[in-house]
Amino acid sequence: MESTQGLFGEFAEKMQFPSYFGRNWAALEDCLYDMTWSPSPGGYLVVIEEWPAVLRGSKENIPVFLDILNDVGSSWAQYPGAGIPFNTVLVGKPVESDH
């Protein structure tokens, strides 16, 4: 998942996105907002392993990706009724900084 296309492919495979998934940021957001193709009354948990390597080749897209996950989680929390959990766990050792 070091590139955006790798990330989109991994999400499509692991979350079993529908065939119409367009493999871009807008399509990722749309599929995560509307999970009618994969209902889960108990909620959703996205676990991203080896987080420091994610989008390593496309670091400028990390804020876009995190914003989408945050916005989607907030939206699901406001689902009519009691809300539906949509949580993300980032797993990995901290990246050493040059600063």
What does the alpha-carbon distance between residue 69 and residue 61 come to, in Å, rounded to a whole number? 13
What's the pLDDT score for residue 94? 66
CATH architecture, range 4-90: 2-Layer Sandwich (3.30)
Mean pLDDT of 75-90: 88
Q: Model-level pTM greater than 0.75? A: yes
The pLDDT value recorded for residue 98 is 55
- Domain segments of the chain: what residues? 4-90
pLDDT digits (tens, 9 = 90+) for 56-68: 989 999 999 999 9
At 95 the pLDDT is 59
DSSP string, 2-53: -SHHHHHHHHHHHTT--TT--SSHHHHHHHHH--TTS--TT-EEEEESSGGG
Across residues 39-46, what is the average pLDDT? Answer: 85
Q: Give me the pLDDT at residue 2, please.
A: 86
